[in-house]
Amino acid sequence: GAVVSQHPSRVICKSGTSVKIECRSLDFQATTMFWYRQFPKQSLMLMATSNEGSKATYEQGVEKDKFLINHASLTLSTLTVTSAHPEDSSFYICSAYTGTSGYNEQFFGPGTRLTVL
């Protein structure tokens, strides 16, 4: 099956620093990648949709200058949380969509737990 990796799995940083999270599709080319955020005991919240070679589409309420997304290739998308603050602490999950699966399935990475002190 399709495998998506995320790195790092956990990160702890000081307030004001920037953190980069990588999302890679390991055995397929992802035409589209999605970035989600999930707070404790809540469902996934879509932050942005990223297509290779074009600008990401951000959901309402998500600051594009704070959450920088770069989809440089068909196998890699990165999310950079700039000037992180404690309220940015969350579980960040990426998913990749091949566009060829008969199920229209999104394949999820294992997630990144961000803690901002």
Partner 1 sequence: GQNIDQPTEMTATEGAIVQINCTYQTSGFNGLFWYQQHAGEAPTFLSYNVLDGLEEKGRFSSFLSRSKGYSYLLLKELQMKDSASYLCAVMDSNYQLIWGAGTKLIIKP
Footprint of partner 1 on this chain (CB under 8 A)? 34, 42-46, 49, 91, 93, 97, 103-111, 113
Rounded-to-10 torsion of CA 10, 7, 14, 33: -110
Nearer to partner 1, 82 or 108 (CB): 108
Nearer to partner 1, 13 or 44 (CB): 44
Nearer to partner 1, 44 or 82 (CB): 44
* Torsion region of 111: left, alpha or beta (phi above 0 gives left; psi -120 to 50 gives alpha): left
Nearer to partner 1, 34 or 67 (CB): 34
We find the least distance from the C-beta atom of residue 102 to partner 1, in angstroms, to be 9
Beta strand 4-7 with 106-108: parallel, antiparallel or unpaired? unpaired
We find the least distance from the C-beta atom of residue 9 to partner 1, in angstroms, to be 10
Report the 10 Å Cβ neighbour count for 72. Answer: 10
We find the least distance from the C-beta atom of residue 109 to partner 1, in angstroms, to be 6
Place of tokens 């008969």: 102
We find the least distance from the C-beta atom of residue 110 to partner 1, in angstroms, to be 5
Beta strand 32-38 with 10-13: parallel, antiparallel or unpaired? unpaired
